Structure 1
Amino acid sequence: MFETVLVPTDFSKYSQKVLECVGGLPGVKKVVLLNVIGPSDPLARVWDPGARLEEAKEKLAEQAKFVEAQGLKVEQRAEPMLEGDIFRKIQAVSDEEGVSLVVMGARGKGFVENIFLGNVAKNTLRYGDKHLLLMRYKMLEGGEDLEEHCSMIFSKVLCPTDFSEPSEETINFVKGMKGIHEALLFHVVSSGESQEHVDAKMKEATEKLNAIKAEFEAAGIKASVQVAVGSPAEEIIEAAEKEDVSLVAMSSHGKGWVKQLIVGSVAYEVSKNGTRPVLVVRAGKAS
């Protein structure tokens, strides 16, 4: 399913932890390691990347050995860039290498504790067109071993849906993934003219979720359903914590999405403010 995966790396501890998990992704055969090198002086108009490029290649070679030990092929890309957003280089390399998934840490070098989503991750989320797995590690600062966490990332997946076409594509995408042990199918009722109206919406949503649950169980995946009332992003984040899910898998867009728009607000808020890894499935690409 994810045969070729791109992992942007800045050689931070967050980037290294991503590499510890990449071998457990369904169907992965090849990993493209990308380091983007910019000038030390952002105002520089002329720049020779020489020494920094050689240093980056050495560090990439070290990380490549780590990935190859997991039985994967590795492509190493050290790319100098005088100006522009690093996201654009990530997108360009993704296109050149034909990757199906970008995997990156939510934060990288120099992160500030109260910033939940680093600038490169944010722009890749908002403007990219590849499926994106944003990894988060609550325990990272404590130095705990992540081996168990990585092996269990697909053990319990929260699948929010608003029953739109993009959400339906994402549900089918997740249902077809190998290694999914359990799925929590989740819908949030966010409006209603009266309590009776809200109750009716909750009942209708529960019936739809139960139908999807039957499909998951027919595929051999344990499934449960939940319907909540409130703000979709807030309820998804709360449910992810309360149910202790290993991953949130959701569509980049929901109802009324327009192809030219950036990532939908719910996917953005969950990715920005949540504490669990998030798999963002791009609308229209979940084939």
Structure 2
Amino acid sequence: MFQRCLICTNFSDGLYRLVEFVPSLAAGGIQQIIFLHSVPLWEEGEIPRIDQEAIEKARDRFQKSLKNVPEGVEVKIEVPSGRAIDTIPKVAKQYQPDVILTGMPIQSLLQEKLFGSTASGLVRACVTPLLMVRSQLISTYTREELDLRCKHLFRYLLIPYDGSNPSKYLVQKVKEQAQNRPDNSLEECMLLWVVDEGGRREVPKDYQVKEAQEQLQLVKVELEQLGLQVNAEVRLGNPYEEILDAALEFDISAIAISSDNLGKLIEWPVRSFAGELMRRSWHPVLFFPPQR
């Protein structure tokens, strides 16, 4: 699905382990990998300065673990000085990756507002798709499990769809990626429309379900024309619960989402659905930034 990947790690989020699985990532179609670790400025003293010693240690740590790079795969190591929220967009602009991998901490919306989050900041700063993974899971995978995970990062996507403009945009972005996907990459999609039990009470639920099924079938055909295996289902219930249950039931690789207001000030009084799903999910979340 993606061929150029920027992997960002702070050495405590588990993503650093991926440097040992370059062959596995390459097996999933990735041809260029940039590993990035941001070293904070040395702030002991009156004037902050670049911590050159920490930069060299980080670079050596990458080099020692980087082995068995397959022929035709390019690996770069970047260790800039500064805050990750500042350095990641700069490196992304330099290399133009297809996707950025970053850790996803467990935080509430209030915690994000008070203490900040690199992942939520990148949602606002980057135009590149972001794959956000739970650091706790990556850290606990065995080598065999991580090998399989790296090979199948984008094999099976769950796509929540409700006929809204963000969901239509999401499908369009998946279609664009599917048209140019490498071998052993995106193979299957699960389209899921959840009719909220508490919404549109003036319209009978059976009519809403039927209407959703008809629209979802059209989207299913569009994706199948690109050679994808597509499952489509309409459920009645709580959208968050049904989406997360479907992710378990269908053994998906990642949940794909997009949003017009994720990370914006409007999300404070009115929660973004995509943002809340991202906070609740233990599955990797592939976020497509809206068109700007």
State the TM-score, normalizing by the size of structure 2: 0.77
Aligned with 2:190 (options 184, 193, 198) = 184
Which has the higher mean CA deviation after the structures are superposed, 131-140 or 150-159?
A: 131-140
Give the equivalent residue in structure 2 for 1:131. 129
Q: Tell me: CA distance 1:70–1:13, structure 2 relative to 1, closer, same or farther (3 Å).
A: farther
Aligned residues: 269
Give me the CA root mean square deviation: 3.3
2:31 counterpart of 1:29: yes
Letter aligned with residue 183 of structure 1: C
Aligned to 1:214: 221
The CA deviation at 1:160 is 0.9
What residue in structure 2 maps to residue 73 of structure 1? 74
CA drift of 1:127 comes to: 4.2
1:105–1:121 Cα contact (<8 Å) kept = yes
Structure 1 SS opposite 2:204: helix
Give matches, 1:62-101, under 5 Å.
62-63=64-65, 65-66=66-67, 68-69=69-70, 71-81=72-82, 85-101=83-99
CA distance in 2, matches of 1:133, 1:46: 32
Distance 1:92 1:32, change over 3 A: same
Identify which of 194, 201, 226 aligns with 1:193.
Answer: 201
- 1:145-156 equivalence runs, <5 A: 145=144, 146-156=146-156
Indicate which of 247, 257, 262 corresponds to 1:250: 257
- Residues 263 and 275, structure 2, Cα contact 8 Å, conserved in 1: no
Q: Which moved more, 1:43-52 or 1:220-229?
A: 43-52
SS of the residue 1:36 aligns to: coil
What stretches of structure 1 of length at least 5 have no aligned partner? none
Deviations 1:37-66 (A, max 9, x none): 114658964334121121122123335x34
Q: Per-residue deviation at 1:207? A: 0.6
Percent identity over the alignment? 23
1:159 Cα deviation from its structure 2 partner: 0.9
TM-score normalised per structure 1: 0.78
Aligned to 2:10, the other structure's residue is in SS state coil
The CA deviation at 1:258 is 5.7
Could you list the runs of 5+ residues in structure 2 that have no partner in the other structure? Answer: none
Q: Answer yes or no: is the 8 Å Cα contact 2:191–2:220 preserved in 1.
A: yes
| Post-superposition offset of 1:2 | 3.3
Please list the CA deviations of residues 141-197 of structure 1 after superposition, one character each: whole Å capped at 9, or x if unmatched.
263522223323333321111223332232133244233222110112231214x53
SS, match of residue 201 in structure 2: coil
Report the Cα distance in structure 1 between the residues aligned to 2:162 and 2:46, rounded to whole angstroms: 47
Letter in 1 for 2:123: L
Note closer, same or farther for the CA distance 1:239–1:44 as it changes in structure 2 (3 Å cut): farther
